[in-house]
Each structure stands twice: as C-alpha cells, then as structure tokens.
Amino acid sequence: MSNCQSDPSIFLFGSTSILGWNMMRMDTARHITPFCNPYTKNETCASWRRLRIESNEELQRLFTREQPDVLIHCGGICDVEKCQQNPEWAWEINVKSVERLLRVLPKRTRLVYCSSDHVFRDSLQAYKENDTPDPISIYGQTRAEAEKRILASREDALVIRSALAIGPSINGRTGHLDWLTYRSKNRLPMTIVEDEYRSAVWIEDLAERVWRLAVSTVVGIRHIPATHVVSRFRLAQFLNRYAQLGATFATARRKDLKAPHPGRIELGTKYRDRFAQPLPSPLRKITTRHHEHVPHLT
C-alpha cells in the first residue's frame, strides 16, 4: 500500500455480513470504522456509522469529508435465490452501487473488494486467479461485473475471492452454522443441496487472511483456497455433529432447485507467497475459538 501507515485508517462496508461481523470481532477492529445501512436494528450496530451505499449523495458527502487509507467492501446482496427473482434489484445493489462508489472514492484510498466463488460454475480442476469467470446465477454475474469495474478503474485495487465461511453471524440466523442452528432450534424445515461441492473455511481464519491482504501491497485478484473441497451435504452432517444439534434435513439436487447452484467449485491460486497457503477446512481443524466442547467426529 503506497500510503500504508503503522495504523492505517480503514473503513468497512458490509459490516453486518458474516465476514464483516467477524472482522469486527478481531483485535484489529480498533483500526476499523464500520458502516451499516440505516435500517439495521441490531443493538450491536448501535454505535456504527450509517450509510446507504446505493445513494450517490451519501457516498459523495462521506468521501468529500474523509479519505481513509483503505476501504474494505464486503457488502452487497448474497442471497442467490432473491437475486435470481429480482435481477434489477441485485444489479442495483451489487453493481451500480460499486459504480457510484468508484466515481467518488478518493484516489489515495485502497479499495479491497470481497467477492465470491460464485463467479465460477463447475470444474474438476481448481480455479485460479487467471481463469475466466463464467457464473450461472444472477448473483454470480453481479459479482463478476463488480470485479470488472473495480479492476478496470483502479490499479491499486484488490479483489478477494473466497468460498463458504463457517462461523457466527451477527443475527444468529445466517451463514451455514447459524442457519442450521436457528432452524433446528425452531423446528423449521431444512433442505441441503447434495451435489454441490465447495471450499469451506472457518470464518475467523478467513477474516484474518482478508485483513492481512487488505493492509498489504497486494493488488489484482487473489483467491483464498481451502485445504479440502466438501459437499454441502457432508458439511451439514459435520456441523450437525459439531454443534450437537440433533437436526434432521432433507436433500435436493441442483437441477430440482429454483435458483441455479454451482457444481464443484474449488478455489486454487497461482501464487506461492505467504497469502497463498490454503486455510484449514472445518472438517480438518477444530480450535478453541469455536465451541468449548466438540463431539467426537468419525
């Protein structure tokens, strides 16, 4: 980072996302100014700054007054089915808001955009940074388009692609672990896609890697790989045992779902530096940062 300081000023958009929330739980959160939308009612966000990223006027006012060293952007709409049902809305939030941001973001501010493995579709080989995106869903398309615009307009920008993040969410209902826990506790039906395979990592590990990349001088596109690819069904079985939920769930195949789901997406990397080390799969690493007691896994 050309303007890097020992304690850089950092803005975080999308602070209520699972990644944003877990970045705010890190020790380094003292360097972060979190933003959330004005409609967020969660008490955790009471002291956070409010911003509508879809408002050109609010973005203009913010960056006329302030010029942070880094902006980590992990906001947007991530619900695949809702994006598929409302493509114009998904495009407005995930793409046009990025276009507006790029018009007003100070040149001195490093932009770090947190994207998704949904920009790919299905392959037996691991996707690397130079592989061409080919999304099958509206959600994936909006992420790929946002990436294009960022990389075309800012030479010092960084796009980070990551996969499934496992860990706590700010509202206790989103993300794979909290979703299973919440629906199991409330005896709500659950359907798991059995023929979808993804890289999966603990959210704490992912948040730390994103932070380290954000305050580095790395630019362009970087993937955050995992040590293993796992099926959504096997992952759900693991989390069910891990959290001792006693949950039961149905299964479905991709072809039977309303929204398109990717097949096998493994994130690899063409790099060999300290940021290229795969993060441990949840199925291979249990730490005290998670639950105090973990049942024996076979």
pLDDT at 297: 32
Is 288 inside a domain boundary? no
Q: Which residue has the tokens 């975080």?
A: 12
CB atoms within 10 A of CB 105: 24
Coil vs helix vs strand at 13: strand
Count of domains for the chain: 1
Task: Please provide the DSSP assignment of 66-94 as one string.
Answer: ---SEEEE--S---HHHHHH-HHHHHIII
Q: Answer whether residue 291 shows pLDDT above 80.
A: no
Contact 91, 142 (CB under 8 A): yes
Is 155 inside a domain boundary? yes
Report the alpha-carbon angle 79-81-85, nearest 5: 115
Question: 286 pLDDT band (50/70/90 cuts)?
Answer: low
Contact 12, 23 (CB under 8 A): yes
Is 192 inside a domain boundary? yes
E strands within the chain?
Answer: 10-13, 32-36, 49-50, 70-73, 110-114, 158-161, 164-166, 191-193, 197-202, 220-223, 229-231, 250-252, 264-265
Higher pLDDT among residues 278 and 284, named by residue: 278
Is 276 inside a domain boundary? no
Distances (CA, A) of 264 to 123, 208, 254, 257: 6, 25, 11, 16
Is 285 inside a domain boundary? no
> Residue 173 is encoded by which pair of tokens?
């209902």
Is 293 inside a domain boundary? no
Residue 160: name the closest of 215, 230, 236 by CA. 215
- Cross-strand bridge partners of residue 222: 160
Give the least confident one: 26-30, 119-123, 151-155. Answer: 26-30
pLDDT at 6: 64
> Residue 52 is encoded by which pair of tokens?
């509508």
Is 291 inside a domain boundary? no
Question: 294 pLDDT band (50/70/90 cuts)?
Answer: very low
| Cα gap 141→133, rounded to integer Å | 9
Question: 295 pLDDT band (50/70/90 cuts)?
Answer: very low
Coil vs helix vs strand at 191: strand
Average pLDDT on 138-167 reads 97
Average pLDDT on 136-142 reads 97
Beta strands 229-231 and 197-202, pairing class: antiparallel
- Cross-strand bridge partners of residue 267: 127
| CATH number of the domain bearing residue 70 | 3.40.50.720
Give the least confident one: 3-7, 59-63, 83-87, 235-239. Answer: 3-7
Q: Is 43 exposed, middle or buried (0-12, 13-18, 19+ CB in 10 A)?
A: exposed
Question: 158 pLDDT band (50/70/90 cuts)?
Answer: very high
DSSP-based helix, strand, coil % in the chain, nearest 5: 35, 15, 50
Q: What is the domain range of residue 133?
A: 10-265
Question: 209 pLDDT band (50/70/90 cuts)?
Answer: very high
Interacting residues of 276 by C-beta distance below 8 A, sequence separation 6+:
225, 269
Average pLDDT on 131-140 reads 97
pLDDT tens digit string along 68-120?
999 999 999 999 999 999 999 999 999 999 999 999 999 999 999 999 999 99
pLDDT tens digit string along 223-258?
999 999 999 999 999 999 999 999 999 999 999 998
| Cα gap 76→91, rounded to integer Å | 10
